[in-house]
Structure 1
């Protein structure tokens, strides 16, 4: 080609190719395809096209266009892959450059997703006016074609459908935007002011994500995905326990109340109260599939306020500092020198704490659990993953000097068992393979060996244990163990006899034989039960059912009520009187939903009431009766 159009700001690649077709004056769409791609069988795809390498090799060199640049700046690739794992992102990028067009939409989750791709190319009337003034023509904006973008974030105007239907139109024809196909003839949807504001902010979040794509991908790599951050915020907001178990009912109820049913339906992300596997409940569980970017952004705005605030957390997420980090290979010339420039951060499966893995060029790899809380943490090793070639070479040199096992272990700063293991692994001939290193554990020989390595080590641990015992004279051995964990563990392994002799004597548990005054206890518990009932009734948000278990949890007396309720006759009678049947609890939820809708200025229609209250279809008659009584007929 001798000519190729210069891209306008945020122009879709489809639009650039359509303008090429018009400017070149080609009558046949297939002639244009042959000039652009070298074949006339290419399909005109709007969002995620393929064969971009073939296109780039035909574009004039002075344009300095690359496949990477076109994919990133003129397709919906950054939209669909922003929150996607890096491995899948690379595969999609490769298919877009090559001829993998048939797999792209499947891999991106578009085919199986619940959010449909717009059938028509879309436009903002105000953007078209601006484009006419600046460039003398219209073009298809990339942002306007993204699912979830229903309002233009620049003009706060509703995005409208053109007459260009990508599914019905000629599959091989690129159609340029113009006055004829961008008519404002479609009826605008009457959104509430609240929904309009929510739709505008969603468009702004999507726009921000696309413009800051590299930061988003860095965040995903540094923080090991988004789920951990969702869970931490859910804990902070009271939607999850400290162990990360999510209170799904409360989350779903407040999420729907935050956005409203109409808004969630308009962005194709409805949340079903009665489906435990709805997308909101699934996205806060372990991610076993790719979730649409709109779903991520809805949850992010609910929890964090905006996409920008959420991603900026990743910029400050440095549990092990900014680096560089020290190499802790004890036999290397650069021992404790800051030569490691990159750390890999993952998360502990059990504790969810960050785990840093540090790899030096000498081959030494170690990890530790974070976050770091003091400068000394930089020099701690949680686990040695690999000693590396430098360490192994030093081991071979030490063995060749015919030293004993203990001396080799001291020189290599490693456990004798490790020395024996690596000697065998490297096939080194040693003279200490028959030494018994297991029988000395806890013996005086073991202590003497430790003292040879560090004369003050035994003294320090003993002194620390005696100091803890003196500081807390009333504490038992078990309680002191939790106070001086490291010292206890060391002494238990190497000096157990001394530890037993210098620990508090075993304390006998005094059994209180005083009889319980159940009459007084009944009166006391009854007051707490009444307070708990009031608290349940006054709970903000979706009503909670009044039951023995709920009263027990709120009052903190669940164990007592479950085991000894028969000894508390007044309390038992009161709980039986106030506990709600299925019918009573359902009615209270219906009345709450009606009141909620009325307070927000919405008409309490039957379907809305049932949705908010979480009422199944089979109880529609009861909801209708409550609604009729509330309206006075």
Structure 2
């Protein structure tokens, strides 16, 4: 039984509470703290979720339940509405009774993760308020969410904490030290600030509302309902993917989507927008769900609170809706509808829906039978052949690949430059692999920057050499090989090049001196 524990603050990660517990308990070895909290010394701390929380809750004498901690002090509610019940139950069991090793895989964080955060983040105003109220700052869970770069409460750009978890011991719990916090309100400029702020507020909504009854299937039904309401789905549930793509891109803009690693290649049958609207078994990142919800609804509450029911893949009225409609508003909207139809003979359904958006949605929701019986007759659409401007697409791919190349080259930990590393996260890999002959600019660029295994090993070793020189450390070939984790036979192939590089760098340093 733990006699003393640092109670988690509001929206504090359980990781942060344990970090404070370690500090105040006087423990020197983090393994002692881990054993006290989890009953075993081999647990590896994880920032976002944690593990063996059932054991921790029992050790705290029933003050908390594991479910309380999960819902209030982990980021699990950010993912929960968008996964099915079976997967959700498996993950909850892992968090309660096991370690967190498999949680990330089951949530698709490893395979399909975007906007990864390698640092702990904080809001300077929130940190200031915490220090004034509690005498210390703590790690807020909302600030750690992938894809969120603005504080939902104060509207400030989040800042990186100076100590990076990846650079610390695997068993260390990092506590925010107010001496290391920058509490000045920054003047950082963020493109598409309002859109980023809305995303942050929508993510906050996922933490404040009880969405336990919502799961992936329910989300899918809601997508189809609102897509149909916007004229982007047919009555049988199929999606008008081309029109959805065009309106979605027009709504957000390519630059904003790229900033969230959510660019969409329409020709890729497995782009994320198609996957999420087809109720695929694949896991889709929450930030992309929030993007689609923001496009479909005026606010996130409308998306989750609207009462809908699906029967035989068709949206049908529930008795609740028809009985609880505002009859005065219903009558007014019907009159408006009939008036516009009478004044505009020959108007098609799409134009009518665009002109009377709020009336259409309201009638659809509360008296669908009347709506469909009074709509103009359908005009058979002529199928259009969509011709792709490959020259334009080639230039676009070339531009975004250049940006990605610069981004990868600037990473602290080198990553090999290949088609996959450049194009996969942009969602254009499949198109490049299948249509490369139509993309000469793209092809030439990829051929130019492609790294063989040997090229990459050589670049990685040069980075290590540069770091040794910068830190005034002795340069030893065996140390370079060990740090780069290269087999001896492969290292021997690049040894001469490295010796030459060391000599050149040494000459440069001597000239400077």
Shorter-chain TM-score bucket reads 0.5 to 0.7
Cα distance 1:556–1:29, how it changes in 2: closer, same or farther (>3 A)?
Answer: closer
Residue correspondence of structure 1 range 215-226 to structure 2 within 5 A? 216-220=211-215, 224-226=217-219
**Counterpart in 2 of 1:203?**
200
Residue correspondence of structure 1 range 553-572 to structure 2 within 5 A? none
* TM-superposition CA deviations, 1:4-38 (whole Å, max 9, x none): 01221111101100000111122221222222223
Residue correspondence of structure 1 range 178-257 to structure 2 within 5 A? 178-183=177-182, 190-192=189-191, 195-212=192-209, 214=210, 216-220=211-215, 224-257=217-250
* TM-superposition CA deviations, 1:388-409 (whole Å, max 9, x none): xxxxxxxxxxxxxxxxxxxxxx
Cα distance 1:373–1:76, how it changes in 2: closer, same or farther (>3 A)?
Answer: closer
Preserved CA contact (<8 Å) 2:294 2:300: yes
Looking at structure 2, the residues matched to 556 and 11 of structure 1 have their Cα atoms a distance apart, in angstroms, of 56
**Counterpart in 1 of 2:290?**
297
Cα displacement (A) at 1:181: 3.9
Cα distance 1:294–1:589, how it changes in 2: closer, same or farther (>3 A)?
Answer: closer
Looking at structure 1, the residues matched to 266 and 315 of structure 2 have their Cα atoms a distance apart, in angstroms, of 32
Cα distance 1:260–1:184, how it changes in 2: closer, same or farther (>3 A)?
Answer: farther
**Counterpart in 1 of 2:50?**
49
Cα displacement (A) at 1:206: 0.6
Preserved CA contact (<8 Å) 1:109 1:290: yes
Cα displacement (A) at 1:180: 4.0
Structure 2: runs of 5+ lacking an equivalent: 323-350, 352-377, 396-427, 442-513
Residue correspondence of structure 1 range 377-526 to structure 2 within 5 A? none
**Counterpart in 2 of 1:271?**
264
Looking at structure 2, the residues matched to 107 and 237 of structure 1 have their Cα atoms a distance apart, in angstroms, of 33
Cα displacement (A) at 1:374: 12
Cα distance 1:586–1:56, how it changes in 2: closer, same or farther (>3 A)?
Answer: closer
* TM-superposition CA deviations, 1:561-597 (whole Å, max 9, x none): xxxxxxxxxxxxxxxxxx99969x7789999xxxxxx
**Counterpart in 2 of 1:152?**
151
Looking at structure 1, the residues matched to 121 and 6 of structure 2 have their Cα atoms a distance apart, in angstroms, of 21
Preserved CA contact (<8 Å) 2:139 2:176: yes
**Counterpart in 1 of 2:161?**
162
Greater helix fraction, Structure 1 or Structure 2: 2
* TM-superposition CA deviations, 1:347-404 (whole Å, max 9, x none): 42xx4356xxxxxxxxxxxxxxx745999xxxxxxxxxxxxxxxxxxxxxxxxxxxxx
**Counterpart in 2 of 1:464?**
none
Other structure's SS at 1:164 match: coil
**Rg bigger for which structure?**
1
Other structure's SS at 1:262 match: helix
Cα displacement (A) at 1:200: 0.5
Preserved CA contact (<8 Å) 1:43 1:171: yes
Cα distance 1:586–1:191, how it changes in 2: closer, same or farther (>3 A)?
Answer: same
**Counterpart in 2 of 1:122?**
121
Structure 1: runs of 5+ lacking an equivalent: 320-345, 355-369, 376-534, 536-553, 560-578, 592-610, 622-633
Looking at structure 2, the residues matched to 557 and 134 of structure 1 have their Cα atoms a distance apart, in angstroms, of 63
Other structure's SS at 2:93 match: helix
Cα distance 1:39–1:620, how it changes in 2: closer, same or farther (>3 A)?
Answer: same
Other structure's SS at 1:87 match: helix
* TM-superposition CA deviations, 1:487-516 (whole Å, max 9, x none): xxxxxxxxxxxxxxxxxxxxxxxxxxxxxx
Preserved CA contact (<8 Å) 2:57 2:66: yes
Looking at structure 2, the residues matched to 116 and 6 of structure 1 have their Cα atoms a distance apart, in angstroms, of 30
TM-score normalised per structure 1 = 0.50
Residue correspondence of structure 1 range 54-73 to structure 2 within 5 A? 54-59=55-60, 61=61, 64-73=63-72
Preserved CA contact (<8 Å) 1:83 1:217: no
Cα distance 1:85–1:239, how it changes in 2: closer, same or farther (>3 A)?
Answer: same
Aligned-residue Cα RMSD (Å) equals 3.8
Number of aligned residues: 352
Instruction: Indicate which of 336, 352, 361 corresponds to 2:314.
Output: 352
Preserved CA contact (<8 Å) 1:114 1:268: no
**Counterpart in 2 of 1:285?**
278
